[in-house]
Chain A
């Protein structure tokens, strides 16, 4: 998950270094305005906690084990600003002390894991929570947040790799599939951890307790989720870029081209990412992109709607009783 140096090309890592310095700087500024003296040790101990929590692994199968990344957990428990700072501190220590992740690539790693991951996790968590007040909704919200934060992080990292000239067709589906699975582990651990914390510290629970639920406005939700969906769609788009890509060439060489044409093995990809029956390459790619966005958004909206619907029912029942 942590990118070493030189994997990305200079244009990509330098841009991300600049972006990360700016964004983390903004988070420091925003967070410090509300900081009390005892918040500094709080955040440091929490960063150490995230570092240690990433060591808590569990065996999955075949010697592979899963573990937490923790960006969504940090954001849900401590708020988005502190979560950004905490994840940044973890990544810098991992790079400088443990050589996990490169130094020039630090901006990329911070961008992916300390900015995209907690922001997406928090956005999804807050949006779902705002629409749902059922008994299990915080858990559902946290699971979706954690899961999507991992997938979005992988998508962003995939885009960075493609921008650095890697063969998209070979890596993006692999990375995304792998992280769709890893994300489930992240979601499970995050929810189990939150359940224990909310039980031990009821004042931190979002609905019954006094903890301020994340204040995410409707516009932020919609724009944010659209952005997440677009990034996912963008990550998938090179899959079917019209020029014959490496894998297809390999397939062609091996005489497999025919099978390929009939049986797209890549998930989520429209055939060559162009829409049948639409003239013009650019227009057709654009429409394909929009469809991709919708494909990601619709299941998400469905889940949110299902939970909201449950809430509406409850209210109606309550009114009937009254």
Chain B
């Protein structure tokens, strides 16, 4: 859970950009990557260069981000297989499509990793609160992110206790043990949910997240963000 740890990092150029604008830019970037035609390698290259520049400007550890890429392996396998078969057949996807998925999915993942590093999950969620004011779903996301840390820690303690006692020989029993742990985790989570609910009510919670001070978005920042979005749109539209 290294993404959520409190990182003490040197301020970089990226920190001069409003978090809300950074979130907007990453969304525009990911959308552009997803919309490029297959095999538009010049444009893929331009966007990749832009991403690399952001990593350098933000002094984001590239190695840390690259370690997230294996998440994509099963899908690459599937796409590769499909492409290989299609290349023998007459219809379906070819090499260009396959490579575009490979490159595009990786770039998109790296852009999201960048956002998880700077501005980071908490500021990202705050930006979402700004864009979707009063949204119940965003309130839910913010609280979920807070309690993932707590409940994952609880799950890890249970897993450690189980693994220290070894696994039953039969797969069926192993599944049953895992299921019981999940059930136990549910009961504990339910109790925690009740206590959290009490603590929130005790401080006057009425079901709506109280709105804090909303920092106005500076127009220079907004203009820069919109320009970036326009540039992304242009990359997609202009061949």
Please determine whether chains A and B interact with each other in the same assembly.
yes
Which of A6, A95, A161 counts the most B-chain CB atoms under 10 A from its CB? A6
B contact residues around A167 at 8 Å (CB): 82-83, 85-86, 89, 92-93
Assess the A192–B176 pair: CB atoms within 8 A: yes
Q: Is the CB of B200 within 8 A of A103?
A: no
- Shortest Cβ distance from residue A199 to the other chain B in the assembled complex, whole angstroms: 8
Enumerate the 9 nearest inter-chain pairs by beta-carbon distance, A residue then B residue, closest first. A192-B179, A196-B183, A246-B89, A44-B143, A38-B197, A6-B104, A5-B108, A193-B183, A48-B147
Give the nearest-CB partner of A190 in chain B.
Answer: B179
User: What residues of chain A lie closer than 8 Å to B145, measured between beta carbons?
Assistant: 93, 97
In the assembled complex, which residues on chain B have CB atoms less than 8 Å from the CB atom of A4? 71-72, 75, 105, 108-109
Complex CA–CA separation, A56 to B140 (angstroms): 23
B60 beta carbon closer than 8 Å to chain A: no
Residues of chain A from 172 to 224 with CB closer than 8 A to chain B in the complex = 174-175, 185, 188-197, 200-201
Distance in angstroms from A49 CB to nearest chain B CB is 4
Tell me which residues across on chain B come within 8 A of A246, comparing CB atoms.
85-86, 88-89, 91-92
Interface size class of B (residues with CB under 8 A): 35 or more
**Interface membership of A290, Cβ < 8 A:** no
Asked if A10 and B178 sit within 8 Å, CB to CB, the answer is no
Interface-facing stretch out of B7-15, B50-58, B187-195, B221-229: B187-195
Option from A13, A166, A191, A244 in Cβ contact (under 8 Å) with B92 = A166
Closest to B206 in A: A37
CB distance from B78 to the nearest CB of A (A): 6
Cβ contacts under 8 Å, B82 to chain A: 161, 166-167, 170-171
| Beta-carbon contacts under 8 Å, B145-178 to A | 145-148, 150-152, 154-156, 158-159, 167, 171-172, 174-178
CB atoms of A28 and B175 under 8 A apart: no
A38, B190: Cα distance in complex, Å: 12
Interface residues of A (CB under 8 A from B): 3-7, 10, 13, 24, 28, 32, 35-49, 51-53, 55-61, 66-68, 70, 73, 77, 85, 88-90, 92-93, 95-100, 102-105, 161, 165-167, 169-171, 174-175, 185, 188-197, 200-201, 243-247, 249-250, 253
A5-B30, A38-B200, A102-B105 are known contacts; what are 12 more A-B pairs with Cβ within 8 Å?
A4-B108, A10-B34, A28-B137, A37-B201, A44-B142, A48-B150, A58-B178, A89-B144, A93-B141, A193-B179, A193-B186, A246-B92
Contacts of B31 in A (CB 8 A): 103-104
25 contacts between A and B (CB under 8 A): A5-B105, A5-B108, A7-B105, A28-B136, A35-B207, A42-B197, A48-B147, A52-B185, A56-B178, A59-B174, A73-B182, A89-B140, A96-B115, A99-B113, A166-B82, A185-B175, A189-B179, A190-B179, A192-B175, A192-B177, A192-B179, A192-B180, A201-B190, A245-B89, A249-B88
Decide if B207 touches A40 in the complex (CB within 8 Å). Answer: yes
Chain A residue at smallest Cβ distance from B181:
A56
A45 close to B141 (CB less than 8 A): no
| Residue in chain B with minimal CB distance to A175 | B78
| Chain A-chain B contacts (Cβ-Cβ < 8 Å), number | 282
Contact of A52 among B93, B143, B155 (CB under 8 A): B155
Find chain B residues with CB under 8 A from A243 CB: 91
Asked if residues A201 and B187 are in contact (CB atoms below 8 Å), the reply is yes
Question: Contacts A41-B200, A102-B108, A103-B27 hold; do A188 and B172 have CB atoms under 8 A apart?
Answer: yes
B97 within 8 A of A: yes
Q: A97-B121, A194-B183 are in contact. Are A52 and B148 (CB under 8 A)?
A: yes
Taking A52-B185, A192-B179, A197-B187 as contacts, is the C-beta distance between A171 and B192 under 8 angstroms?
A: no
Chain B residue at minimum C-beta to C-beta distance from A245: B89
In the complex, what residues of B have CB within 8 A of residue A59's CB? Answer: 167, 174
**Any A CB within 8 A of the CB of B48:** no
A267 to B198, CA, bound (A): 53
Say yes or no: A45 contacts B147, CB within 8 Å: yes
Q: Which residue of A lies closest to B174 (CB)?
A: A58
Q: How far is B111's CA from A104's CA once the two chains are assembled, in angstroms?
A: 12
Closest Cβ of chain B to A75, distance in Å, is 13
Shortest beta-carbon distance from A34 to chain B in Å: 12
B3 at the interface (CB under 8 A from A): yes
Q: Which residues of chain A have C-beta atoms less than 8 A from B86's C-beta?
A: 166-167, 246
Q: Which of B89, B100, B115, B145 has most chain A Cβ within 10 Å?
A: B89
Report the Cα distance A50→B197, complex, angstroms: 18
